[in-house]
Structure 1
Amino acid sequence: MINTKRVIKIGILTLIYLVGLIVDPFLKFSSLDNTKSYKTSKSNAIIDHLISIRILEDIHIIPYFLKSILSYVYALNKTQQFTNWYVFENQVSNNPDKLFMKFPKNNTNEEFEEYTYKQAHEIILRLSGYLTTDTIDCKPGQIIGLYYQNNPMFIFLWYALWQIGCIPAFLNYNIQGESLKHCITIGNIEKVFVDPRINQNFSYEGTLKNVQVINVNEDELLVTVLKNPNATMFFQKHELRTPKSIKDFDPALLIFTSGTTGLPKSAVISWRKASIGCALFGRIYHMEESGCNVFTAMPLYHSTAALLGICAVISQGGAFTIVSKFSASQFWKQVYFSKATHIQYVGEICRYLLNTPQQNTTYEREHDVKIAYGNGLRDTIWVDFKNRFNIPVIGEFYASTEAPFATTSIQFGNELGVGACKSYGPFVTLFLSLQQCLIRTDPEDPSVPYRNSNGFCEKTKANEPGELLMKIFFPKNPKTSFQGYLGNEKATESKILRDVFKKGDAYYRSGDLIKEDTESRWYFVDRLGDTFRWKSENCSTQEVENCIMTDPLFKKEDSYVVECCVVGLKIQGYEGRCGYAILQRNQDIKTNITELEILNGLLPRLNLSLPKYSMPLFVKFVDEIEHTNNHKIKKVGYRNENLPKGHNGTDVIYFLKNYKQYVELTPLEYEKIMNGETKL
């Protein structure tokens, strides 16, 4: 029997594909060369209307998507050239002399090292030769750690490992001690390359069996290998790099994320996500345009910079500029001299930049940036950020490292779609409705999905916050859609919700609250569960809780503290949520030292075991931590704490002032935080 609805959908997509092939090259709006004066005249009223209803972006996306899917399926089933190495290799063949990468030469940020695709390719092949020598001995299938800051060597090592057939694992260079050892262990990492600039950070407790730690001598390597035309180039055999046993849902990368287990988890980034997913993302944000150059100051160990920055722009044959770390004072100077057309942001970066004094308007306003894209740009500063820095287009997206899909929004004007993380035309919206949805949550505990009398979930109504779910198309084999966490089946399964709308179905749980307006745009509301985001980093509440409760001071039977709850606390004027710890007193124990002395006695352990961004900035002692009837801590109330004196106006709350010592959060101290005199 003919499925009429399916035939109609195929017909619509085919029509859009054909129209797009004809129309898109002639649409002025899609050219980044014209976005600086994007507002159209009255004579272009039709174009203006099509932009406002987002039809033109559908035309820009759908033909490319359909064509790319067909090419990808062919590569997957016929040539076995579906991995990212071949994406890069194709760009080298097609555009050998095009700019590939830029990196500042010195601290002036006015001159940049530059590499073309051909130059980068040759360096990567020479480096592959070095990595396959008996001394290093990288082999296909091995998982290799990179403990590296942003610099060209990170990129060269990454792609050399792909060329050999290895799986890179990007380690957060802010972590050390138990967390670092844990990452190396759960990631099955056999070798770790350590950046000489931060090798003092690479420390861990005890020993790591069968792990080779390689402290890279970059100066020597540059002279003898990377820039030596006589150095041996190594070309891996295709059947060893991508044997027929490799599937497109197998790992391309490992990226470590904070989770509710108390320690980082190794999120699997599949070849499908890194290849076709990033290629589509690059198209959505117009990285195919001539002269495209994506600037990122975000760490490459995060998926945002690595996948949605580097992989996305390479898929389109564009260039990227990386800098070692973000600097609010140098950001626009770096952008200006790099001639970047795109910049990446997170909400915190936008706020930092807005808070800088307006001094050099040449750098801020006369740059070449056409699109700023990222996530977490609050609607309260969206327009101010766009206007002050002369940015024609904002591209806000929603994504997480392990999620099967992402949502995107591209906003050209100052009114429609401000704050949206998903905004498409009607055709793409209809297609994505098959993959993504928002469901109602339990009013008393938003982390629990609401189920009706039939035991099934319900979709939200317009402007009602709900948890974002993404469909797993083969529930009996979920890794084909959601690859989860390497070596952690329990954590992987915890992200899968089953029997959602019918028996046997399965969806990936985002753990985030989203709401949808009447125009099908989505807006991020808040994070659920036991993570919070601070200083552009995801933080595990349980990791902080474990750190506190395993302190020798609190492990004793006569400990003053018997329970700990950590949440993310919203602070007015700051992006994300900072750490807030609630400590339950042991009322049977009396002590001669004050609670403030107890906290400052705990501080050395916190400094040793936690990254700065995970530190509990605020702490309160209570007689009893509130629990639900099923013994879960009522975290919602704590997440909405009233500073400086709590909801009843009489609580004593302590504050980690300048990250040096805890002090009482008096109204005067709180006023200093609010007026910016004391920084968080």
Structure 2
Amino acid sequence: MANTQERLVSLPNILVQLSRQATSLHIKLKGVYELATSKPDKNKSIGLLLEKHARKRPDHIAIRYENVTYTYDQLNRKANKLAHYLASQGISSGDVVAVVLENRPETIIAVMAIVKLGAIASMINTSQRGEVLLHSLTLVKAKMIIVGEEMLENMATVEGDLDAASLASLHYLRDSGTTPCPAHYTNLLDRIADRSDQNPDSTRHVKMHQPCYYIFTSGTTGLPKASVMSHYRWFKSLAGMGLASMNMSKDDILYVSLPLYHNNALTVSMAAVLGSGACIAIARKFSVSRFWDDVRHYDATAFCYIGELCRYLLNAPQKSDDRNHKIRVCVGNGLRPDIWMEFKQRFGIEHINEFYGASECNLVFTNAFNLDKTAGFCPLSYNIVEYDIEEDTPVRDNKGLMIPVKPGNTGLLITEVNDKQPFEGYTDEDASNKKLFHNVFTQGDCWFNTGDLVMNQGWKHVSFADRLGDTFRWKGENVATTEVESILMEHQDIEHAVVYGVQIPHTDGRAGMATITPSKPADQMDWDDVTRHVRDKLPAYAVPIFLRLREQQEVTGTFKYRKVELKEEAYHLDKTGDETVLVLTGKNSSYEPLTAETEAKIDAGELSL
């Protein structure tokens, strides 16, 4: 389905891009040096780096938020005051402090204070309520919970289920001041007012291998898991991504509209900023209408993204000032090949620094050579192996060993676990063990299962293909959902599409189904044209049998689609509510509304789909 040749990487293209980046060679070399000198047992940490900038460039702006600024000296002193209070409450190395705050400077201040003590900041998803929020808070056994005024309503949904110790640990952090501190909370600003603003002694004892954050998975399948981020991995992102790949300098301003509880913001972006002594500009929340105005307001030279964020920006009406900004680089993941060039050209972005790396993954690919339609390059030990979608397992040869794929082919990405690439996993040991393969290429070796299918683009580059569990098998062929989604969204009347496989009685495999958001009312859609579009662009086995119409897709806080419920509801009219479901009932048919009578025939195996 994909244009494989277009997405392969060639050595001449790499050399051309390297020659264009010659002026930033000193920054790249600094990144390589940081990578080489960062050792897990070294006394080096995020807190020490902040103190270094506060000492060397105290008046340089570190944070911009709306019309407020914080210099490095101010940021460090505010973090110190909070750190001293936390220490007075018994918070020390290895303890967990839950941070329940939206995007604002206080979020970064809280995180910096926590990591200065060698403690762990557990970053709580601000969209969570009820059972999911309770799960996240109890999973990490937080010794203290810092709650923003803006999050009091969410916290109220779980307070009745918290134990006495957790209730006693609740600390209120003022926001607008419209909701006063509840009686059962401790007012944090009151408690830190008279604390010392000098660097705590604890910071210089923190080692790189120690955890700094717990970052929760998005919870698209089941309850969220807490992945562990160490100072060591954070510094590797600083070096490999911020310096060697993005070429960040102290003059850069990186705009962040993604939530700070996400690694793209707190690790990729914050590490890039602190690594170069630059400035981070924070938006409270992502807004399509305000995005470029914010970029201009902050004089931003960089921003971070998730793929769907870019699609939202691209779907917005074109404006004459689309290129009126100072952005030279954007960093993120999930930008799909079908919109890559259009996005780059419309907004005039010089370098799309796409990367690949999950919260729990022990290595990162990054587009250091500024090539198009690639998740980039990784010099560390990984492999891409053949995978049997139907059996849901890697293919092994007659010796029981996995089989690497050749350039141009797609397989399961696995990464070697060793001293240089430790797997830090989740807080749940059983969940961590389930992500490891053993005896992959030699007896006794250990490899991390990313759970992702990627294309081997050659020259140590990859592009993302699909998640295991999303790719499905139909008519004896593997169907990559991301490819089908891209084709559907090429149609001018389809804004968004979520593709997945559904089970049909009396058939093998799973049939393709898409939940789509049309750009016009359903009765104005030309379904014959949509049918022609997908039949022309997709092989027969990949054409979705069912379409479900939805005004707005359900997504997580970081724009990941929630497919679990969609798969369970499938095409069944008693489960899809008042949303229209369309079906292709034959090879020459067009999409038409699914009726109860047609559904019964499908379930009885009377229609050949």
Shorter-normalised TM range: 0.7 to 0.9
User: Which runs of no fewer than 5 residues in structure 2 stay unpaired?
Assistant: 1-11, 182-186, 473-480, 490-494, 507-553, 574-580, 599-609
Looking at structure 1, the residues matched to 351 and 308 of structure 2 have their Cα atoms a distance apart, in angstroms, of 19
Greater Cα offset, 517-526 or 575-584: 575-584
In structure 1, the partner of 2:57 is: 95
1:641-660 alignment, distance < 5 Å: 644-645=582-583
Letter in 2 for 1:96: P
Alignment of 1:143 onto 2:101: no
Greater Cα offset, 575-584 or 390-399: 575-584
Letter in 1 for 2:30: Y
Aligned residues: 501
Q: Secondary structure at the match of 2:362?
A: coil
Looking at structure 2, the residues matched to 148 and 579 of structure 1 have their Cα atoms a distance apart, in angstroms, of 34
Contact 1:582 1:621 in 2 (8 A): no
In structure 1, the partner of 2:278 is: 318
Query: Given the alignment, which residue of 557, 570, 574 partners 1:620?
Result: 570
Using the TM superposition, give the Cα deviation of residue 225 of structure 1 relative to its aligned residue in structure 2, in angstroms.
8.6
Query: Given the alignment, which residue of 434, 451, 454 partners 2:396?
Result: 451
Alignment of 1:357 onto 2:317: yes
Looking at structure 1, the residues matched to 295 and 49 of structure 2 have their Cα atoms a distance apart, in angstroms, of 26
In structure 2, the partner of 1:372 is: 330
In structure 2, the partner of 1:63 is: 29
* Cα gap change, 1:94 to 1:492, in 2 (>3 Å): same
The percent of aligned pairs where both chains have the same amino acid is 26
Contact 2:245 2:366 in 1 (8 A): no
Contact 2:237 2:268 in 1 (8 A): no
Contact 2:48 2:204 in 1 (8 A): no
After superposition, give the CA deviation of every residue in 1:26-54 in whole Å (9 maximum; x if it has no partner): xxxxxxxxxxxxxxxxxxxxx99842467
Using the TM superposition, give the Cα deviation of residue 435 of structure 1 relative to its aligned residue in structure 2, in angstroms.
1.0
Alignment of 1:497 onto 2:437: yes
Looking at structure 1, the residues matched to 592 and 131 of structure 2 have their Cα atoms a distance apart, in angstroms, of 30
After superposition, give the CA deviation of every residue in 1:328-365 in whole Å (9 maximum; x if it has no partner): 01100000110000011111111111111123x33x21
Contact 1:466 1:513 in 2 (8 A): yes
Query: Given the alignment, which residue of 68, 71, 79 partners 1:124?
Result: 79
Using the TM superposition, give the Cα deviation of residue 147 of structure 1 relative to its aligned residue in structure 2, in angstroms.
1.3
Letter in 2 for 1:483: E
TM-score (norm 2): 0.73
Greater Cα offset, 55-64 or 371-380: 55-64
Alignment of 1:509 onto 2:452: no
* Cα gap change, 1:249 to 1:644, in 2 (>3 Å): farther
Query: Given the alignment, which residue of 417, 429, 435 partners 1:472?
Result: 417
1:431-450 alignment, distance < 5 Å: 432=379, 434-442=380-388, 444-445=390-391, 447-450=392-395
Looking at structure 1, the residues matched to 193 and 151 of structure 2 have their Cα atoms a distance apart, in angstroms, of 30
Q: Secondary structure at the match of 1:420?
A: coil
Using the TM superposition, give the Cα deviation of residue 382 of structure 1 relative to its aligned residue in structure 2, in angstroms.
1.1
Using the TM superposition, give the Cα deviation of residue 379 of structure 1 relative to its aligned residue in structure 2, in angstroms.
1.5
Looking at structure 2, the residues matched to 114 and 369 of structure 1 have their Cα atoms a distance apart, in angstroms, of 20
Looking at structure 2, the residues matched to 581 and 190 of structure 1 have their Cα atoms a distance apart, in angstroms, of 43
Looking at structure 2, the residues matched to 309 and 507 of structure 1 have their Cα atoms a distance apart, in angstroms, of 28
**RMSD over equivalenced CA pairs, Å:** 4.0
Looking at structure 2, the residues matched to 97 and 371 of structure 1 have their Cα atoms a distance apart, in angstroms, of 25
Letter in 1 for 2:16: I
In structure 2, the partner of 1:461 is: 406
Using the TM superposition, give the Cα deviation of residue 217 of structure 1 relative to its aligned residue in structure 2, in angstroms.
2.6
Greater Cα offset, 447-456 or 567-576: 567-576
In structure 2, the partner of 1:599 is: none
After superposition, give the CA deviation of every residue in 1:277-330 in whole Å (9 maximum; x if it has no partner): 323211034353241011111011111111001122111111111101111011
* Cα gap change, 1:121 to 1:260, in 2 (>3 Å): closer
Alignment of 1:158 onto 2:128: no
In structure 2, the partner of 1:72 is: 38
Alignment of 1:51 onto 2:20: no
* Cα gap change, 1:264 to 1:653, in 2 (>3 Å): farther
Query: Given the alignment, which residue of 386, 395, 400 partners 2:344?
Result: 386
Looking at structure 1, the residues matched to 193 and 572 of structure 2 have their Cα atoms a distance apart, in angstroms, of 69
Contact 2:82 2:110 in 1 (8 A): yes
Looking at structure 2, the residues matched to 581 and 654 of structure 1 have their Cα atoms a distance apart, in angstroms, of 18
Letter in 1 for 2:456: E
Looking at structure 2, the residues matched to 235 and 330 of structure 1 have their Cα atoms a distance apart, in angstroms, of 38
Greater Cα offset, 256-265 or 462-471: 256-265
Looking at structure 1, the residues matched to 159 and 570 of structure 2 have their Cα atoms a distance apart, in angstroms, of 31
Looking at structure 1, the residues matched to 122 and 211 of structure 2 have their Cα atoms a distance apart, in angstroms, of 10
Using the TM superposition, give the Cα deviation of residue 436 of structure 1 relative to its aligned residue in structure 2, in angstroms.
1.6
Alignment of 1:175 onto 2:128: yes
Looking at structure 2, the residues matched to 145 and 497 of structure 1 have their Cα atoms a distance apart, in angstroms, of 32
1:456-605 alignment, distance < 5 Å: 456-474=401-419, 481-486=422-427, 488-529=428-469, 571=485, 572-573=488-489, 577=498
After superposition, give the CA deviation of every residue in 1:100-159 in whole Å (9 maximum; x if it has no partner): 01111xxxxxxx21111111112222233444455xx54443201111111111111111
Using the TM superposition, give the Cα deviation of residue 261 of structure 1 relative to its aligned residue in structure 2, in angstroms.
7.1
Looking at structure 2, the residues matched to 100 and 520 of structure 1 have their Cα atoms a distance apart, in angstroms, of 35
In structure 2, the partner of 1:309 is: 269
Using the TM superposition, give the Cα deviation of residue 511 of structure 1 relative to its aligned residue in structure 2, in angstroms.
0.6
* Cα gap change, 1:305 to 1:229, in 2 (>3 Å): closer
Looking at structure 2, the residues matched to 371 and 302 of structure 1 have their Cα atoms a distance apart, in angstroms, of 20
Contact 2:80 2:199 in 1 (8 A): no
Greater Cα offset, 64-73 or 447-456: 64-73
Looking at structure 2, the residues matched to 227 and 379 of structure 1 have their Cα atoms a distance apart, in angstroms, of 51
Contact 2:360 2:425 in 1 (8 A): yes
* Cα gap change, 1:579 to 1:353, in 2 (>3 Å): same
Contact 1:259 1:531 in 2 (8 A): no
* Cα gap change, 1:441 to 1:93, in 2 (>3 Å): same
Letter in 2 for 1:63: L
Alignment of 1:401 onto 2:367: no
After superposition, give the CA deviation of every residue in 1:217-265 in whole Å (9 maximum; x if it has no partner): 346799x997999843254653x4465xx65333111011146872111
TM-score (norm 1): 0.66
Query: Given the alignment, which residue of 227, 234, 243 partners 1:274?
Result: 234
Q: Secondary structure at the match of 1:115?
A: strand
Contact 1:258 1:531 in 2 (8 A): no
After superposition, give the CA deviation of every residue in 1:174-232 in whole Å (9 maximum; x if it has no partner): 1121111111121111222122123212222852222122232346799x997999843
In structure 1, the partner of 2:517 is: none
Letter in 1 for 2:326: D
Query: Given the alignment, which residue of 155, 170, 173 partners 1:216?
Result: 173
Looking at structure 1, the residues matched to 192 and 570 of structure 2 have their Cα atoms a distance apart, in angstroms, of 62
In structure 1, the partner of 2:152 is: 199
